[in-house]
Structure 1
């Protein structure tokens, strides 16, 4: 299918790449995209440059040729936008003649409206009125320049710097002084106008730079706020992810715990079903053996009956063969007689042929009569043969009917006997089952008695050990009390000396001061009070130690197996505590490796079910109990398992970390005996 799709795609691609009317004679041909030669056009960049406004020239002076329009060629990459400024020469010669710039702009740039720049432009100083009045007679038709920009944004026009204007000398006359004064006033006015425009341009550039700086700062603040919001959002998402991970971990642990419980329940159920299956298999095996025995007996009876029928069939076949041979012999004799008669008649016919023609006709008539008689005889014989065959068939059917009736009677007898045997077998199985249950009950009672006796002996041994430990603890406490008494005596002596030292110092100071000194009786009373206080403190500490030792050595009223010991049941091979699982594996390995081979062979030879056994082990490695959750059904096998567990104790003690959490571990395993003992 994939090959067919690939071939179809290739064919369609070839059809789509067909072109018509190509080079040559115009036949269709295939065009492939990689055969076309392509080139990428460079991108067009246009740099917008504002035009420069030059001051107007006087009306009485000839106008210079307007400068050519500025080029709009794009500047090179990285080139800064430069605004042309008038040269010093043009400024110096502006007093004699001023160009009027072309009114048509070269490049128009839509400027954004800036309130600050507009306000600064409006506040710029206006042209002095005196200069206007002085220049009015000499500059006719001078264009008025509005220094304040209009409210609507206008395109700014920049022109190339003008070339120096030519100066036309004027002949001296009576009004030369007035002309010079007006020219100087006009030059000053033009210079002020240029300075004002330059100041306005610089102010606009400064305001634009401030605006760009404020935009950059606002962008930086927005970027910082965005980054802070992104950081807060990332922290929130991280916290949510961690909480989600914790929740998922808890859910996973809960699922693992539930899965372990489900697996353990499934394993217990499987063990129970396995035990039931094995019991059912044993029962089916017994029933199958009985059925095989009955089938063998039935087959033997059928074989004897078949041999008898075969003998009867062979006798009947022999009889039929003899009858058939007799019929064949009679047929051969008849044919031989007919042949002899035919030869004789042929001889007579040949002898009489030449004698009488009429005799020939008579002979023919006789031949026809003979043939008719032979046909009648053959029909009679055929009728007799068919009657004999019908009689034989009727006899055979009668024999078969009698045989079927006899077989039916034999089958009914066999069914009756089989029903009686099955009833007897059922009763015997019921008796055996009752006996087995009674034996199992007695064995369970005996095992329970043995377990109770073992627990009693264990409790007695533990009680003896506890008493011995209590005695040793009492001796240790007594030694500690003696040592404490000695230390207390030393401490009292030191305290007495320390108490006597300030008293002696006080007495010495009193002697030096000449004050009365207390008598010996007062000193003895103070010393006695101090000693009584020390004795009371020592008695209280001894009473506290005695109460603590009595509480620690008080025996439990319950046996250890029924006390409040911390227990953990390990039903499978998984548990949250890995150290517990490792201890169970080590215990199972010790049992599997140290069990004698002859014990395993002796148990494996006995027919039994695989028992499910729970072994309780204390923190010191001793065995508390051996409990059969599912018995093997054989008392000797159960006893052998108990001997195996008891023969290998004591087992390793718990590690300190495990002993702090668990007192008793109940390990449940299924025991298998084949070439070796295996615990699962």
Structure 2
């Protein structure tokens, strides 16, 4: 299985390598095509970025020549020495010059006629035929000039006129000669510039041919050709800048030389400036179109390159997805094989477990037989222990009964003594109360008798004054009578004492019964199993939880086995959480256990204080519960 997996992986790796090589070759071909489209192939007629683009400039027609008056013979002036052209700096961009044409025949300049006293100017020289000049080159001087440099003036605009007034004064005798000299100098400069442009164009053409030949090589040569083309463009830009700078410098020199002529021909200069502005705009538009076309071509190349890269990336993603699917299939096959192997192992494990279970079953049967025998022996031993424990328990019960009888006898003696003392105290209290009641009754009777006598005297005086014929104390049906009033023998307080004394049997020896919690003012309550007050039950539960949590530390489970009777205990707790009393309502039969209960209650004190809603109603709460000593101590509610 491992050999098949290795073979499939090798096959998938070869397929992936072939697809990757195909994608790389496709990318190389697309890039080569883009480079060929960008730089062109000679002989195929494809557009190239180095093809010269002619610039068409339309000039305004020259002014009509004025009638030529007779001029005086000009005096030859020494020519100013020509300054050498400045060294080119920066970058020049030179367009390739067309093939040279035969120079046209220039007509000779006519000689001036004898000068008359008054004359006017005439054309300096007949117009010369316009030679085919190379494509104008835009140049920018790197130095900042304070004046505007106009472009080259056309030959047609070289005609100058002489002001009649200046001609009369003889101030422009040598103007024609200077103009001819300037034209000759301008022509020589143009020829030099044309030769330099042609030379630069030939160099650029040679570099272009070398770059085009390098494009036909392999991918690496194509990349080198692209870099060479970029360098060629940079050199061309530097050449154009140098040519433009040189042109600007030449124009500055011509401007300085022709400053006087421009001052005399303001109107012609203004027209010429307008023509120059139009020509400059045309050149700028041509340059802008060229820049836009180059930008569009660059954008198209980038878009094509991006598309090729996207296609290659998509192809790579597809290959990766196929590889991932193949890996998933292989992983699935491996998982199935592992699952099959696991199932085989599981079946073998089940068989082993079945055999082991049979062995264990036999061992369990053997152990069960031994356990049965041990249980029988244990039962016999437990029976003997139970008999011994029963005998000990009976003996303990007899001892407890004897002790309980002694305690009851002692308690009965104490109760009789206490009862006798209470009876004596109550008898003394009753005697004192009777004596006080007799004294109060006698005093009240005296007061009542005095009040009755006073009232009788007042009634007698009133009766004697009211009726003269009536007898004192007359008897009869209509008489007033001598009935004794109800309160004649005592006051109202004495009567109330006598009424209270009627509820107490003064001759019996039994004391009055003790009042319950409700009879003692409602400040004490006994919590039984039927209590429904939620705050009281919650407080009782907190007491139970504390006893069960901490009470188990005071006894051992062995001592719990000796407890045969579960005691009933009532614990009285004050409002501050202190223990008022611990009462064993039903004893466990063992003094040790009862003392243990009291010790547990005392050790866990002080308990929680009463909440405000309980403290406002009760001062003491008696919690009565059944204490169960099993494996753990538990407090249970008593069932009645």
Higher helix share: 1
Q: Same fold (TM over 0.5)?
A: no
TM-score (norm 2): 0.27
TM-score (norm 1): 0.26
More relative contact order, 1 or 2 (CA 8 Å, 6+ apart): 2
Larger Rg: 2
